[in-house]
Chains A and B, each alone.
Chain A
Amino acid sequence: MRHLLSTDELSREKAIEILDSASQISRLNQDTTRKFPTLQGKTVVTLFFEDSTRTRISFELAAKRLSADVINFSSGGSAVSKGENLKDTAQTLEALGADALIVRHSASGASYNLAHNGWTSASIVNAGDGTNQHPTQALLDALSLRQGFEIKDGEGLDGKKILIVGDILHSRVARSNLSLLPTLGAEVDAVGPGSFSPGCKYANLDEALETKPDAVMMLRVQKERMNQPLIPSDKEYSRFWGLTEQRVKQVPNSLILHPGPMNRGLEISSYAAESENSLVLSQVKNGLAIRMAVLSMILGSKNEA
């Protein structure tokens, strides 16, 4: 694996290999915060054109745990704010010896362009491109689900019913999961108000929950990605689509996921976020393991060759 751009590119075998590698790392990490020498001498750049403290920190920590040299590059205050374009930025970083670029960008396809336009020979890890993909998020969701369902290593999510709820249209998390989870054998339904989820066959979350999903993945309402409000009001959204306490009780056996950061009281209630079925914190923890697994797979394989 040279790049990780999209979960579309992952076969079932490859996806399970990443999950297994991450759960192994997770177990090794259980008690100590030990460092692995895997990426010694490698330079990894986190190239963030959009602010995302959580994802950047997770990647940075993952690379550091693997002993890579890490450079953090964000667009504010850099040459980018002086008008430098993506191609020139990538070439500059490559000239400085970057082995991998972890890229967050507001334009869908930006990672694809970096990997395939001949602008750089560094490996590209997509850390979120526009409304398109965020593959490590879907992988960590899958790992959290596998743990939550107590499914062992080497297996997928066969037959599990997953309900993704919210702004499907603007969500790279939804898009990534919509391709990865079915690859792993799960049945996925994406629901939300019509302006968020065109073609949705349910009028509200209560109807959707009647299908008794094994897990409910709540998406963040991303107001920053809308040109104009796509819902009448926050209040109306939470009334029809929010995961309220009452709705959690409607599906007492369903696991609950949220990619964070959460809009508490909007798409998810505190009761849901903190319930015993909530995987929110294990998602964060698994993020680190997944990113370590992905980075070692992409950069480590060159060492072995």
Chain B
Amino acid sequence: MRLSNCTLANGDKRDIVIEKGQISAIEPASTNGDLDCKDLIVLPGFVDLHTHLREPGFEQSETVLTGSQAAASGGYTAVFAMANTQPVADNAGTVTQVAELGEAAGLVEVRPIGAITKGLQGKELASLGSMLNSKTRVRIFSDDGHCVSDAALMKTAMEYLQPLGGVVAQHAQEPTLTIGSQVNEGEISRITGLKGWPSSAEESIILRDALLSEQTGCRLHVCHVTSKLGVELIRWAKQRGFPVTAEVTPHHLVLTELEAKNYDTRFKVNPPLRTQEDTKALVEGLVDGTIDVIGTDHAPHASDAKQQQWDAAAFGMTGLEQAYQVAHRVLIDSGNGNWQRLAEVMSSTPAVIGGLDNHGRIEIGKEANLAFIDPNKSVQVHGNLYSKSSNNPYIGMEFESSVQHTMFRGKFSFRDGEVIK
């Protein structure tokens, strides 16, 4: 198959030739392809380091199949599935099951993340070595949803994983500072009377873990950074050469704490939405390289978990279907960044962190994992089209650009607005 006249992230126009699922040639642009891509920007398929697929255990909210469909519609060709399923993905059997469900769905590469501690309890280490050496070869470990708050346990996990090449992805949240917390501590907690969630709860753990990464040499990935000071701490750690990478979610880039003022539980999320000053610092960090990747923290919840008074509602919002559009808004539409930076934060850098050799690059000999972007197709969000859950925070917003097609291993997984399969 010849994709003709593709505009690449660097602006070059090329034909991409695909055989047996792989890119077999990249040639000067022509007009005689099987698919004319003259109005499209072709990027390496997106890679999400932070997805909750909910299966096994919470199939009322999402399954590996519906999550894969949502991902494909958002331009993704690989997603890393967080371990907070039921049973928890803290053993070789469960991670292998998740990977197999991903292969069966066949729309994106599903890479399981293993829990750091047994049952996400934060007490004793999970079978890290067994998961790492399982058939699916887990590379990233996280207790996401919970913080590994015990400093000694965190240090041990990092010491254990360092020689094995594992990455520790931390949900930074000092639990004693956030008992019962609901929204950012500040203006919104004052307006709503909801219990405040100080950003220092996050920053204190980021700093501690950065020091541990330096001491142990283990790669640390900081999940969903939300605050200006958090960005500054990561900038400092990187300047010192600590092995640290960082992630920001789409929602923390464009939504602020004030969304919570009407107690609309779609905006209840952990960590909470912060202030406009924070979103500004996060965008700056994303542009200047302090923040390495956009990770969705796609967190689907069935409607009964959200149709509750705020305190009782579940934390989390979906993101796979709009993440690209948010990235486009903050990097391209704003003029702050460019297509190459967008491809880095959405695809090539998460592929490197996650150890995915076949994603993140448009290169001869690699799998044809591609996202096709229509830079000028604006869309109003009415809700999720593929995710099983409807807790979408972007409903009513209009975005300036859309994913037109997605190709996974040489086949379209999403074409002209439809998931194939």
Contacts and interface: CB of A to CB of B under 8 A. Distances in A.
A290 to B, nearest CB: 21
A109 B312 contact: no
Contacts of B312: 85-86, 107
Given A85-B304, A227-B179, A227-B180, A113 B193 contact: no
B309 A133 contact: no
A105 B309 contact: yes
B308 A109 contact: no
Which of A107, A112, A117: most chain B Cβ within 10 A? A107
A112 B263 contact: yes
A298 to B, nearest CB: 21
A291 B24 CA distance: 78
Nearest to B194: A108
A130 B308 contact: no
Interface secondary structure of B, over-half rule: loop
Interface string B300-315: 0000100111111000
A113 B179 contact: no
Nearest to B193: A132
Contacts of A116: 262
Contacts of B31: none
A56 interface: no
A107 B304 contact: no
Interface in A120-158: 129-133
A209 interface: no
B193 A130 contact: yes
A251 B415 CA distance: 77
Given A107-B312, A109-B263, A117 B307 contact: yes
A130 B311 CA distance: 9
A109 B309 contact: yes
Contact of B193 (A117, A129, A227): A129
A110 interface: yes
Interface residues of A, number: 22
A85 B309 CA distance: 9
Interface string A191-231: 00000000000000000000000000000000000010000
Nearest to A49: B309
A117 B308 CA distance: 10
Contacts of B311: 106-108, 130
A116 B263 CA distance: 10
Contacts of A117: 307
Interface in B270-323: 304, 307-312
Contacts of A172: 193
A113 B309 contact: yes
Given A129-B193, A132-B192, A112 B262 contact: yes
Interface string B103-128: 00000000000000000000000000
A15 to B, nearest CB: 19
A198 B262 CA distance: 24
Contacts of B146: none
Residue in B182, B263, B304 whose Cβ sees the most chain A Cβ within 10 Å: B263
A14 interface: no
A87 interface: yes
A227 B180 CA distance: 8
Nearest to B185: A198
Contact of B309 (A107, A131, A227): A107
Given A113-B263, A227-B180, A108 B308 contact: no
Given A85-B304, A112-B262, A175 B309 contact: no
A201 B389 CA distance: 48
Contact of B310 (A85, A87, A113, A119): A113
A131 B195 contact: yes
Interface in B226-270: 262-263
B91 to A, nearest CB: 32
Contacts of A227: 179-180
Contacts of A132: 192-194
12 contacts: A85-B307, A108-B182, A108-B310, A108-B311, A109-B193, A109-B310, A110-B309, A113-B310, A131-B194, A131-B195, A172-B193, A227-B179
Q: Which 5 A-B pairs have the closest CB atoms?
A: A132-B193, A109-B263, A107-B311, A108-B193, A107-B309
Interface of B: 179-180, 182, 192-195, 262-263, 304, 307-312
Given A108-B193, A132-B193, 16 more contacts: A86-B312, A87-B308, A106-B311, A107-B309, A107-B311, A108-B194, A108-B195, A108-B263, A109-B192, A110-B310, A112-B263, A113-B309, A129-B193, A130-B193, A131-B194, A227-B179
